[in-house]
Chains A and B, each alone.
Chain A
């Protein structure tokens, strides 16, 4: 089982596909769930504590807007943790939820910087493209090692 970083980070379709092929999706909603169900996070029902934009400094400098750093405090560790990444390009907003454009740019950049297997596919606009989209992702997921190595 490999840990797969997905972009858009909230995509349920990608998350589901990754799970179907026996891997673990690293998705933003998982992290958010963790945050809001952890005792001690003091700004429910929201995602970020005042500390998080500071943690985000690992990924973006202090002159970057607070909202970007706050988002990066969630997304950044997911990229760090990934064994592989699937990036969907030009996706519709509804496909992967919203996002600050700057965060999205930085997220894709960081994923591309990692020396891990990576698949970049275009968001499908027709039935044919849709089939090809799923096929490419399936082939990529099949090519990844099933066995968990190390952690």
Chain B
């Protein structure tokens, strides 16, 4: 990230310094030109904060967390964003974490994210989340952009596929899509596909934006004007494509390796959760199912639509044991249609259990990412949540579209 003022992030935690990961938190923040601060509060408030919150917890450190949250909301601590962190595995902390996050978000309007840490949490894991936090705090003007202007390209270097789009004056005129093998080579290929389709030359592009896992590597290569993490870019791309830039929206992005659930307001991400590295809730699981059923991944969705997930017993959402369940079901005579439906249902159910509990799901619900094109997935999500799911056109390209849209803010107007 290029510029300027330091972003001040309030660290509202129950004692991350005792988990041995403080250095990682500091390191992630400082690499983004941000500074972590501990909001000051009145010690007397610790005695009453539980009643005020309506959540009377045993842990004094969690009471401290609530008191710090209150200090942030009341403006006693001047900060630009808030990072809420508690121990993974602690039920009491999970309760407080969620309530504190909701309270700060609703009563202060500050960007806030939460994270549950283990002793193995590293700066690299925290980076994307913190980068999103600092961007939202620092670049609201950029995120307010609703129209793409000029001739720009966006490249999304994802873990499984690399996507590129070329846009001119708010229209997608070229698309490229290649599997990610060598990050740079794949990006070059995807961009070339998009340029060819758009019938323009690379030197004609006025600005390039990159996102995804490989954003820095390809960003440096293409001399990109914007290298941005995918929370910000994808949520912008999703609401742009779904034509829901104003008001509330919820974006669920099921990617190849991880997935994101983002609560969006006027195109700006608010609360969000990123799935950990769990292949059971990602496109990878669907890919493996397709392979086992000997169908192309593009055919899996149609197959799933015809099946009944209830006919297959899934004992686990884990990619290893889940696939085992599917194989067992096939051995017992389940149809490939039922197995495909069960796989889609499994992915969606795990996202529901792990992520959607943590954000407020507000309609419209926009489902994006490659997996959204597998028809069984939106169907399973609709069945589970009992609400309509919007899969916008070019749903797999949201990252690239979001990057092309945001980077058009760098195009000089004549």
> Footprint of B on A, CB under 8 Å?
42-43, 46-54, 63-71, 92-94, 98-102, 104
Say if the beta carbon of B232 comes within 8 Å of chain A. Answer: no
Q: Are A50's CB and B18's CB within 8 A?
A: no
Please classify how large the interface on chain B is, using the bins under 10, 10 to 19, 20 to 34, 35 or more. 20 to 34
Q: Decide if A52 touches B90 in the complex (CB within 8 Å).
A: no
CB-CB under 8 A for A54 and B119, given A46-B23, A70-B18, A100-B14: yes
Q: Which of A47, A101, A104 contacts B18 (CB 8 A)?
A: A47
| B interface: dominant SS | mixed
Expressed in whole angstroms, the Cα–Cα distance for A84 and B118 within the complex equals 34
Contact indicator B89/A65 (Cβ below 8 Å):
yes
B199 within 8 A of A: no
Q: List 13 A-B contacts (CB under 8 A).
A: A42-B23, A43-B22, A43-B23, A48-B22, A53-B119, A66-B21, A67-B86, A69-B119, A98-B61, A101-B59, A101-B92, A102-B59, A104-B60
**How far is B59's CA from A65's CA once the two chains are assembled, in angstroms?**
13
Q: Is the CB of B20 within 8 A of A49?
A: yes
Which 8 pairs from chain A and chain B are nearest by CB? A65-B87, A101-B59, A101-B58, A66-B19, A66-B119, A53-B119, A70-B18, A50-B20
Pairwise interchain contact A65-B88, C-beta atoms closer than 8 A: yes
Q: Name the contact of B19 in the complex, choosing from A70, A98, A101 (C-beta under 8 A).
A: A70
Residues of chain B with a CB closer than 8 A to A47's CB: 17-18
Q: Do A48 and B89 have beta carbons less than 8 Å apart?
A: no
- Give the distance in Å from the alpha carbon of A13 to the alpha carbon of B9 in the complex: 34
- Please indicate the chain A residues that have their CB under 8 angstroms from the CB of B92 in the complex: 101
Chain B residues with Cβ below 8 Å from A94 are 43, 46
Partner of B60, one of A50, A64, A101: A101
Interface of chain B residues 1 through 60 with chain A (CB within 8 A): 14-23, 43, 46-47, 57-60
Can you name the residue of chain A whose Cβ is closest to the Cβ of B17? Answer: A46
CA distance in complex: A36, B21 (Å):
16
User: B64 contacts which chain A residues (CB < 8 A)?
Assistant: 93, 98
Q: Once the chains are docked, how many angstroms separate the CA of A47 from the CA of B16?
A: 10
Residue of B46, B60, B89 ringed by the most chain A CB atoms within 10 A: B60
User: Within 8 Å of chain A (Cβ to Cβ): is B227?
Assistant: no
Please list the residues of chain B having a beta carbon within 8 angstroms of any beta carbon in chain A: 14-23, 43, 46-47, 57-64, 86-90, 92-93, 117-119
**Given A46-B23, A48-B19, A99-B59, A65 contacting B90 (CB threshold 8 A):** yes
- Whole-angstrom distance between the Cβ of A72 and the nearest chain B Cβ: 9
What is the CB-to-nearest-CB distance from A144 to chain B, in angstroms, rounded to a whole number?
29
Q: How far is the CB of A63 from chain B (nearest CB, A)?
A: 7
A71 touches B15 (CB 8 A): yes
Q: How far is the CA of A50 from the CA of B86 in the complex (A)?
A: 16
In the bound complex, CA of A133 to CA of B117 (Å) = 40
Distance (Å) between the CB of B126 and the closest chain A CB?
14
Report how far A104 CA is from B62 CA in the complex, Å.
Answer: 13
Contacts of A104 in B (CB 8 A): 59-60
Nearest residue (CB) in A for B22 is A46
Q: Which residues of A contact B21 (CB under 8 A)?
A: 50, 66
Instruction: Looking at the assembled complex, report how far the CB atom of A33 sits from the nearest CB atom of chain B, in whole angstroms.
Output: 15
Selected from B43, B47, B61, B117, the residue in CB contact (under 8 A) with A66 is: B117
Closest to A69 in B: B119
Min C-beta distance of A34 to chain B, whole Å: 16
Assess the A92–B47 pair: CB atoms within 8 A: yes
Taking the closest CB of chain B, its distance from the CB of A120, in whole angstroms, is 18
Q: A65-B89, A66-B119, A69-B119 are in contact. Are A98 and B60 (CB under 8 A)?
A: yes
Q: Is A71's CB under 8 angstroms from B18's CB?
A: yes
Within the complex, what minimum Cβ distance (angstroms) separates B234 from chain A? 30
A9 to chain B, nearest CB (A): 12
Contacts of A100 in B (CB 8 A): 14-15, 18, 59, 61, 87, 90
User: A70 to nearest B CB, angstroms?
Assistant: 4
Contacts of A102 in B (CB 8 A): 59, 90
